[in-house]
Amino acid sequence: MDFTAIDFETANSARNSACAIGLTVVAGGKVAESCSWLIRPPVLYFPFTYIHGITAEQVKDEPTFDMLWPTLRPYLQGQLLVAHNATFDKSVLENTLRHYGLSLPDARYICSVETARKTWPSLRNHKLNTVAEFLGVQLNHHDACDDAYASAQIVLQSLRVHKMTSVNGLIQKLSLKTYLTKPEETGMSPTLSGGAPVIG
């Protein structure tokens, strides 16, 4: 019943342009901690302010990701991570770490979108705000802390619906995909750009 939900907001379409990260730590089936940080991305180019409200002015004096990494790594190393559209958040983490020449944590992900689809298939869609509203979870959408918390609640409530006592059991019951990060992949060349944002 232990996992960490993660959410990134990016400044632009470059997958190394993280400008905020939110984390919700679940221990023993209960939320133990929710926290977030603003991040100064490598380039202060912010066409995505309209999505999350974060501006270049807000982050120009914030730490860069490499400065935050000693604080963030213990939350992620060796953990099961949950994210809404997990491939997006996984890509942001990997590309940002590679940009700074930092090692990837040894972690695996599951996607709360897939979890929601397989648990509540009749919802009109499985965007984060739709699922959060259905579950009665208060959400300021695209606030990294709120988004991570809502992703955690999707998994916690899915566990209850399926009467499961472990996330591994839920993964098996629902045949959820798992996505891995492997530290040995660090030697790959940095990827400095990505596609359009995935809007949960």
Measured distance CA(114)–CA(5) in Å, rounded: 14
Banded pLDDT at 162 (limits 50, 70, 90)? very high
Residue 26 lies in a domain: yes
Higher pLDDT, 84 or 181: 84
Residue 198 lies in a domain: no
Range of the domain at 132: 3-185
The number of C-alpha atoms within 13 Å of 4 and in the hemisphere containing its C-beta is: 22
CATH number, residue 146: 3.30.420.10
Residue 197 lies in a domain: no
Domain count, the chain: 1
Q: Is the pLDDT of residue 31 over 80?
A: yes
How many CB atoms within 10 Å of residue 30?
Answer: 9
Nearest to 20, CA basis, from 144, 195, 165: 144
Banded pLDDT at 191 (limits 50, 70, 90)? very low
Residue 200 lies in a domain: no
Residue 73 lies in a domain: yes
Residue 193 lies in a domain: no
Q: What is the pLDDT of residues 119-129, one digit of tens each?
A: 999 999 999 99
Q: For a pLDDT cut of 90, what percent of the chain falls above it? A: 90
Residue 10 lies in a domain: yes
Measured distance CA(15)–CA(156) in Å, rounded: 28
Residue 40 lies in a domain: yes
Measured distance CA(43)–CA(68) in Å, rounded: 17
Average pLDDT over residues 158-164: 97
Q: Is the pLDDT of residue 187 over 70?
A: no
Banded pLDDT at 188 (limits 50, 70, 90)? very low
pLDDT at 183: 67
User: Are the beta carbons of 9 and 19 closer than 8 angstroms?
Assistant: yes
Average pLDDT over residues 23-51: 97
Q: Is the pLDDT of residue 195 over 90?
A: no
pLDDT at 184: 55
Chain-wide mean pLDDT for the chain? Answer: 92
